[in-house]
Structure 1
Amino acid sequence: MRQDIGDNITAMYGLEAAMPKPQGNQSDPILQEYLRREDEWQDIEKLKKKVVFVQERISCIHNDKERAVLNRILDGMSLRAVSRQMGLSHTHVRNIRDSIVSQFTEFPKSANFPKQTGLKKEVSSG
């Protein structure tokens, strides 16, 4: 889309064309908003790929302690907060995290994971 929009949207004629041009940021607010949103969407796509990667491989974690650490990390807790909450040393929690990561890299993605949506289907209880 950037190629279609271009940087110079309006042409200048007459005296206006001979006047000095402003230096610095783009003056078109619509182009600026488009560029901001495009960067945001790229960040969201990267994050979505990471979440799908974890969701596809979460079934390979069978150890209860590893699963508890993984769930807390997925909830957004830092390793130090996890270690305080679980009563483990920070180093031990880091080793558990490293073990989880190594299991993720060795484990192929789950066969029962739906490929169409990229997300697990929720089961309704009603």
Structure 2
Amino acid sequence: MNKWQVEDLLKDYHWKLHSVKIMRESMNEVNVSMVAQYGLQAAMPKGSGDPSDPILKEVERRDDRWKKIHAFEKDIQLIQSKLKKVENEREAEVLHWLLEGKSMRWIGMHMGLSHTHIQRIKDAVIRNMSA
């Protein structure tokens, strides 16, 4: 994995993590059982999977959503697996706030450093994580 890929994953980490949480909750709230199990409707013929079938389209949409969730989780786990490579305290602090979605200007104000110095620390973090 090169440094640009690591940098992109760091930028996207915060929103992907929150998106996974929200998408999982919304997918679990919906009743995934769309087939009647009891009564007269249970004995009726089921859809055959015609491409214009709205149930089939909904199942495909949800399947695509689960694939997106799994792709986001893969990116999140990749970053989490590389966190151990950052050992310097200052770099670890910058990394923490980057993963929280904070800007370099905000991190600089928080740590009492210039945002350009934070940029240099971030570059060192990315070098460590991509090695």
TM-score of Structure 1 vs Structure 2, range by shorter chain = 0.5 to 0.7
Structure 1 residue ranges without an equivalent (≥5): 10-27, 107-126
- Which of 63, 70, 84 is matched with 1:45 structurally? 70
Is 1:89 aligned to residue 117 of structure 2? no
In structure 2, do the counterparts of structure 1 residues 6 and 87 end up closer, same or farther at CA, with 3 Å as the change threshold? farther
Kept after mapping to 1: 8 A contact 2:51/2:57: no
Residue of structure 1 in register with 2:130 after alignment: 105
Q: CA RMSD in A?
A: 2.3
Structure 1 residue 86, shift from structure 2 partner: 1.4
* C-alpha separation in 2, matches of 1:6 and 1:91: 58
The structure in which a higher percent of residues are helix is: 2
Q: 1:92 to 1:33 in 2, by over 3 A?
A: farther
Q: How far apart are residue 77 of structure 1 and its match?
A: 1.9
Of residues 61, 66, 83, the one that matches 2:91 is 66
TM normalised by structure 1 equals 0.54
The answer for the alignment partner of 2:34 in structure 1 is none
Considering Cα pairs closer than 8 Å and 6+ residues apart, tell me whether 1 or 2 has the greater RCO: 2
Q: Which has the larger radius of gyration?
A: 1
